[in-house]
Amino acid sequence: MRANIIGTGSYAPPRVLKNQELERIVDTSDDWITSRTGIKERRIADNETTNDIATKAAKSAIKAAGVSPKDIDLIVAGTVTPEMLFPSTACFVQANIGANRGIPAFDVSAACSGFLYALDVADKYIRSGISKKALVIGVDIFSNIIDWKDRNTCVLFGDGAGAVVLSAEKGKSGILSTHIHADGHYWKMLYTPLGVASSPFHNKPAEKSYLKMQGNEIFKIAVRTMGAACQEALDSNGLKAEDISLLIPHQANMRIISATAERLGLPEEKVYINLDRYGNTSAGSIPLALDEAVKKGLIKRNDIILFVAFGGGLTWASAMVRW
Ligand code: UT7
The predicted pLDDT at position 197 comes to: 60
Total domains in the chain come to 2
> Which of 127, 154, 172 marks a domain boundary?
172
**75 shares its domain with 158:** yes
Domain presence at residue 293: no
Domain presence at residue 242: yes
First to last CA, the chain: 15
Question: Would you give per-residue pLDDT tens digits along the chain (323 residues)?
Answer: 999 999 999 999 999 999 999 999 999 999 999 999 999 999 999 999 999 999 999 999 999 999 999 999 999 999 999 999 999 999 999 999 999 999 999 999 999 999 999 999 999 999 999 999 999 999 999 999 999 999 999 999 999 999 999 999 999 999 999 999 999 999 999 999 876 666 777 677 666 789 999 999 999 999 999 999 999 999 999 999 999 999 999 999 999 999 999 999 999 999 999 999 999 999 999 999 999 999 999 999 999 999 999 999 999 999 999 99
Cβ contacts of 123 within 8 Å, gap of 6 or more = 3, 166, 175, 178, 319
**145 shares its domain with 191:** no
The predicted pLDDT at position 194 comes to: 75
Which of these, 3, 2, 4, 9, lies nearest to 294 by C-alpha position?
9
CATH of the domain at 263: 3.40.47.10
**186 shares its domain with 318:** yes
Instruction: Say what the pTM is.
Output: 0.97
Domain presence at residue 286: no
**12 shares its domain with 42:** yes
**160 shares its domain with 62:** yes
**256 shares its domain with 154:** no
Other beta carbons within 10 angstroms of residue 172's beta carbon come to: 8
**15 shares its domain with 107:** yes
Our answer on whether the CB atom of 216 is closer than 6 Å to any ligand 1 atom is yes
* Four-CA torsion 278, 282, 286, 291, nearest 10 degrees: -50
**52 shares its domain with 191:** no
**155 shares its domain with 97:** yes
Our answer on whether the CB atom of 311 is closer than 6 Å to any ligand 1 atom is yes
Centre of ligand 1 from the C-alpha of residue 156, in Å = 9
Our answer on whether the CB atom of 28 is closer than 6 Å to any ligand 1 atom is yes
Our answer on whether the CB atom of 255 is closer than 6 Å to any ligand 1 atom is no
**164 shares its domain with 309:** no
Q: Which domain holds residue 35?
A: 2-172
> Which of 144, 172, 200 marks a domain boundary?
172
Domain presence at residue 108: yes
**60 shares its domain with 108:** yes
Centre of ligand 1 from the C-alpha of residue 155, in Å = 10
Instruction: Read off the DSSP letter of residue 315.
Output: E
Domain presence at residue 29: yes
Domain presence at residue 283: no
Centre of ligand 1 from the C-alpha of residue 216, in Å = 7
The Cα–Cα gap between 309 and 147 comes to 24
> Which of 172, 195, 214 marks a domain boundary?
172
The predicted pLDDT at position 199 comes to: 72
**116 shares its domain with 88:** yes
Domain presence at residue 291: no
Other beta carbons within 10 angstroms of residue 221's beta carbon come to: 18
Domain presence at residue 184: yes
Q: Which of 39, 152, 191 to mutate to test the pocket of ligand 1 (most atoms within 8 A of CB)?
A: 152
Rounded to the nearest angstrom, the gap between the alpha carbon of residue 66 and the centroid of all alpha carbons in its chain is 23
Q: Which atom of ligand 1 is nearest to the CA of 28?
A: 47
The Cα–Cα gap between 102 and 40 comes to 43
